[in-house]
Structure 1
Amino acid sequence: MKNGNLLKAVFWVLLAVCCWPGVSAPIALVAGITFGIAIGNPWSATTSTWSRRLLQASVVGLGFGMNLPELLKTGKDAFLYTAVSISFTMIVGYLLGRSFKIPRRTSTLICFGSAICGGSAIAAMAPVIKAEAEETGVALATVFTLNSIALILFPPLGHLLGMGQRQFGLWSALAIHDTSSVVGAAAAYGGLALAIGTTVKLTRALWIMPSALVAAWFTKSEGKVKVPLFIIGFIAAAAIKTALPQFNQVWNPLNGVAKQSLVVTLFLIGCGLTREVLGRTGVKPLAQGVILWAIVSVTSATAILIGWIS
């Protein structure tokens, strides 16, 4: 009992520290992962739910730091290459799944999560293809593990490759799965990288609905496809900020709170990477996810550095 109380006390202290503006996204994630693996998460289900909700609220708050015309232009420019990236990822992922002889639904979920929007895409697709809870859990664990690694590796790799902020924002949005990890990596790189990364990533996330609807049509599924409302909120916040610039003394603090709440979100996400989660991943699904992620990362970085994507 005493150990349980101490565990909870450590969790709350770390959570409170992550609310301080001096704590960056990578530090919060590493703290969360260390806590989850070394000690264990006392509220794994609760932190998973709240990390998702806090992420969505944070993304909406980031809209108060955006200019709507620039946002729409970036989204329009991103539409084509996000479509190409998603198609490429799904094809390569399908071939990898076949070669590793991974169960079809598990492989589909890993491909879909890698191609579009990580956990959100998996959650949207799972009921459509009637995936079992264990299949969904394996796909989530695989994608989640890679998200955590990407958040730590991408910023130093971006500097090593000599990427500017716009280039890195594009790369993180195209090669990292979850919105939280894209935003966290881009925020560590710079303000412009954050703006570009968030916008392109949300454009990529918009493909959840049409992709899930196509899958539902092919499988004759009656599962419901949910509208990602936080994306609508993000655009609405940018519209309000653009239409009412005289209230920037209100919008700027809201944007600042949203950025720090993302740091807290990443701590909660890190806490979810426990030994139990790693144990559920399995060698073959993890191999599929790692190889697919490496191919997409290298291909998209190359396309950006040679100017095919700008």
Structure 2
Amino acid sequence: MAKVLVIEDEAIVASLIMRLLTKADIAADEVNDLAGAREKLITPDDYAAIILDRQLPDGDGIELLHELQKHPTLKQVPVIFNTALERPEEVRQGVDAGAYWYLTKPIDPKMMLSVVKAAMEHYLLAREASKNLNRALRTNQFLLEGKYRIHTVEEARQMAEGLSLLCPDPDRAWLGLSEMLLNAVEHGNLKITYDDKTRLMLAGEYQDEIQRRQKDPRLMQAYVDVEVVRKADFTRITITDQGDGFDWQNYLEFSVERALDPHGRGIAMTRQASFDRVEYVGCGNTVVLTMEKKI
């Protein structure tokens, strides 16, 4: 069973987090320093998310994050900072170090649960996708050009797995493809705005709203077109939805202002950790992803 590791030295804060997780039926372990965390993390498959304080008795939690980023397995586990360090430069430091999210004290229960659930879902989907990629028969390895069309969130997830096999680094490609394809369906075709998603996630209603909109006769016929071109030294994937586009320039980099929202980092993560080039066209309803083959 997937669990959360809570690393927090303030007894009252740790107790509050553990009660929130227990009430939400999320299993968790609690430790109060970096040494205890390192001991718990010896078995990496146990944890689907880590809630990490920065000011701990034996060091800054960011030290542990740097260690996790170098670990072949633990680097995949989302780390959520929960700390009193909230100056813009401190938030930027945590985000740049690779934190999945950065929350500040005092705890906002709705925000905490929303981010934890999203982080765990992201990790479990990524782990399952990795297993599927490792088992897949690469019968499409000979494909040079292809066109696809999808409609739903589930199809977007399936397409991300399939398309990643056409890229030089499938595991790395899956991250960006899943983010960009889901964005195309959810924000493009289903017209869920940034503010809509924030509100729905905090209310625990986001997935229900997606299902409702996918059944809406006005929206259910919308589709996302995907084109793939494979060359000897790169793979290029173009994703086009039928939405009105968006102000994509504001999402290319991690934003300190959005760091405290429960979402909004997918495009920046795709640029930083997945594809070598992420290029939007026109109003933003078309994105071109390019991954180069490393020699």
Same fold (TM over 0.5): no
Structure with greater strand share of residues: 2
TM range (shorter): under 0.3
| Greater relative contact order structure (CA < 8 Å, 6+ sep) | 1
Structure with greater helix share of residues: 1
TM-score normalised per structure 1:
0.24
TM-score normalised per structure 2:
0.25
